[in-house]
Amino acid sequence: MDLNSEKYWETRFQTDWKSRHGVEQTVLHYETIVEHLPEYIIESIRQNSYTICDMGCGLGEGVVELQKTFSSSTVFGIDFSQTAVDEANEKYGSESRKFIKGDILNNDKYFDVIVLSHVIEHFKNPFEILKSLSHYSKYLIVAVPFREKNMCDEHEFRFVYSSFPLKIDNKSLMFYKEIPPMFFEAGNYTVQEQMLVVYANEELSGGHTLANFHSYYDEKLELDATIKKLKKFESKLKKTNSKLKKENNHFKSTKAYKFWQVYANLKKKLF
Domain count, the chain: 2
First to last CA, the chain: 94
- Residue type for 221, please? L
Task: Examine the fold and report which residue of 193, 213, 233 is the final residue of a domain before the chain moves on.
Answer: 213
Task: Examine the fold and report which residue of 197, 213, 229 is the final residue of a domain before the chain moves on.
Answer: 213
Tell whether 101 and 229 lie within a shared domain: no
| Cβ-Cβ contacts under 8 Å for 191 (sequence gap 6 or more) | 25, 28, 181, 182, 183, 184
Q: What would the 3-class secondary structure string for 148-205 be?
A: CCCCCCCCCCCCCHHHCCCEECCEEEEEEEEECCEEECCCCEEECCEEEEEEEEHHHH
CATH (domain of 172): 3.40.50.150
Q: pLDDT class for 254, splitting at 50, 70, 90? A: confident
| Cβ-Cβ contacts under 8 Å for 106 (sequence gap 6 or more) | none
Please list the residues that pair with 167 across neighbouring strands: 172
Instruction: Let me know if residue 59 belongs to a domain.
Output: yes
pLDDT at 222: 77
pLDDT at 214: 54
Higher pLDDT, 62 or 229: 62
Task: Examine the fold and report which residue of 192, 213, 234 is the final residue of a domain before the chain moves on.
Answer: 213
> Which of 36-40, 90-94, 208-212 is least confident?
208-212
Average pLDDT score over residue span 104-110: 95
CA–CA separation, 113 and 116 (whole Å): 10
Tell whether 45 and 67 lie within a shared domain: yes
Instruction: Let me know if residue 92 belongs to a domain.
Output: yes
Tell whether 37 and 59 lie within a shared domain: yes
CA–CA separation, 17 and 22 (whole Å): 5
Instruction: Let me know if residue 235 belongs to a domain.
Output: yes
Q: What angle do CA 177, 96, 99 make, to 5 degrees?
A: 80
C-alpha R_g of the chain: 28
CA–CA separation, 90 and 101 (whole Å): 14
Tell whether 165 and 252 lie within a shared domain: no
CA–CA separation, 195 and 183 (whole Å): 16
Instruction: Let me know if residue 91 belongs to a domain.
Output: yes
Tell whether 22 and 90 lie within a shared domain: yes
Tell whether 180 and 77 lie within a shared domain: yes
pLDDT in tens, 43-77: 999 999 999 999 999 999 999 999 999 999 999 99
Tell whether 166 and 42 lie within a shared domain: yes
Per-residue DSSP letters for 86-119?
HHHHHHH--SSEEEEE--GGG-----SEEEEES-
**Does residue 159 carry a pLDDT above 60?**
yes
Q: What angle do CA 150, 154, 157 make, to 5 degrees?
A: 70
Tell whether 182 and 233 lie within a shared domain: no
Tell whether 236 and 256 lie within a shared domain: yes
Instruction: Let me know if residue 30 belongs to a domain.
Output: yes
**Does residue 32 carry a pLDDT above 80?**
yes
Tell whether 22 and 75 lie within a shared domain: yes
pLDDT in tens, 166-224: 899 989 999 999 999 999 988 888 899 999 999 999 777 665 555 555 566 677 777 77
Tell whether 84 and 23 lie within a shared domain: yes
pLDDT at 231: 87
Residue range(s) defining the domain that contains residue 44? 6-213
Tell whether 230 and 167 lie within a shared domain: no
Instruction: Let me know if residue 1 belongs to a domain.
Output: no
